[in-house]
Amino acid sequence: MKEPLSTLESKLKKTKSRSKKRDFLQELADRNAEEGNFKVAYEYYQQCEEVKDAILNDETQKQIAKLEAKYKTEQKEREKEIFRPQLSESLNSEKPLIFELHLKNNLWDSSDALKITVSL
C-alpha cells in the first residue's frame, strides 16, 4: 500500500539528506502525475531535478579536489626526481647549483627558460 501524499510531504520537510529529499520529491512527482495533478507533479519534478543537480555538483567538486591533490602530489614527486641528482652533485662539489625550469606560457604557446643559481 502506498503512503498518503501528506505523509510523503511531511517526510520531505523533515529530512536533511539530499538523497532522501530527491527520492521523496520523485515519489511525490510520480504520485501526483498518476492522480492527474500535473501542475503539482511538474513542480515536484523541478525540485527533484534541482536536488539531483546539487548532489551531482557536490560529487563533481569532490572529484576535482581529489584530482587536484593527486596532481600536486605527483608534480612534487617529479620535481624531487628532477632536482635530486643536481642537488646531490652540488652538495658533493664546490660548483654552484643551477636549476633550469622551462615554463610554458599558455597564451602564446611558447616556452621560456628560467635559470636559478644557488651557491652552497
Does the pTM surpass 0.75? The reply is: no
Q: Is 36 left (phi over 0), alpha (psi -120 to 50) or beta?
A: left
pLDDT (0 to 100) of residue 81: 78
Sites in the chain below the pLDDT cut of 70: 83, 85-120
pLDDT (0 to 100) of residue 22: 96
CA–CA distance, 115 with 72 (Å, rounded to integer): 22
pLDDT (0 to 100) of residue 29: 96
pLDDT (0 to 100) of residue 35: 93
